[in-house]
Structure 1
């Protein structure tokens, strides 16, 4: 059985994961409006991953005899100055999710909730990958610039996500 403290924290993490999903979908809409379908493809896959994370937590709470409480989701921003600014936001957002998951893990440690610690391990590992990927794309954008062939090549590269 989950403690009330961990149940509350996991429900808050579900909210953050749903917000992440909503944010990435908003970002995809923005990049589609800029005629960058590869960026939009990458962001839509990210959106699906975040939705999956929320549902993984949802299932976990139920499996542990807790109660899922869906909290309100804020409206994400829909305007970005540029693709670079968008990926700066992606990296910043992923860093905030990492911090949130780390705090959840700390609560599970404090409460000696070993099952929650084990469940969170996959989230912790994935956040390392998420931050590295966002950082790599951001640095590529900074080197390539936001106009011309380099941007189009990156757009095509991002379109291949999930095809490997």
Structure 2
């Protein structure tokens, strides 16, 4: 008995996004390894945690596809690309990767809306919020790096940033969570 409740086009898009999440995990792993080899243990820790988070996102897609009765397609993951040149370059690349991921999420939301696949549309709302958090976190980190001196940041500033990132929460506070009492 066929229990698939996803259209072929939604299935293909979900599988593509699953691969994109796996690729994001590989990018974070690559940058974490680079940071560790450069002596930035706090930055590496932060990036390793995000690699795991992206892998969890990949698994959410995999499980959703299976739960809807469709077929998961495991594709090759592209190479993460070259190592960052410096800390600012690392987080600029992280931000660009998150923007690319957001595009894929938004395309899936639009597609599920157009196809009136309300289960998938609802499933994707969690990812919309997650990407808002990821972009906000990346922008906040880029702001800190700029304050530290950007690509020419001093070793003292980078040391402080490295120590700070070791303890930085994985989620950013969003505007929707703010109020007059909690600005």
Q: Please give the per-residue CA displacement for 1:19-69, whole angstroms capped at 9, x wherever unaligned.
A: 000000000000011100000000001000100000000000000000000
1:77 aligns with 2:81: yes
Q: Where in structure 1 are there 5+ consecutive unaligned residues? A: none
Where has structure 1 moved over 3 Å in runs of 4 or more?
A: none
TM-score (norm 2): 0.86
The 2-side partners of 1:143 and 1:122 are apart by 32
TM-score of the aligned structures, taking structure 1 as reference length: 0.96
Gapped regions of structure 2 (runs ≥ 5): 171-183
Deviates more, 1:116-125 or 1:75-84: 75-84
Report which of the two structures shows the higher radius of gyration computed on alpha carbons: 2
What does residue 35 of structure 2 align with? Answer: 31
Q: 2:11 aligns with which of 7, 19, 24?
A: 7
Correspondence list, 1:1-164, <5 A: 1-145=5-149, 146-162=153-169
Q: Measure, in 1, the Cα distance between the counterparts of 2:52 and 2:33.
A: 14
Q: How far apart are the structure 2 equivalents of 1:126 and 1:58? A: 17
Per-residue deviation, 1:79: 1.5
Counterpart CA distance in 2 for 1:83 and 1:162 is: 19
* Post-superposition CA distance 1:108-139 (Å, at most 9, x none): 00110001011100100011110011011011
Cα distance, 1:142 vs. partner?
1.3
Determine helix, strand or coil for the equivalent of 1:28. Answer: helix
3-state SS of 2:85 partner: coil
Q: Distance in 2 between matches of 1:125 and 1:108?
A: 17
Residue 78 (structure 1) shift:
3.8
Aligned residues: 164
Separation in structure 2 between the aligned mates of residue 8 and residue 119 of structure 1, nearest angstrom = 16
Following the alignment from structure 2 to structure 1, what is the Cα–Cα distance between the partners of residues 146 and 168? 20
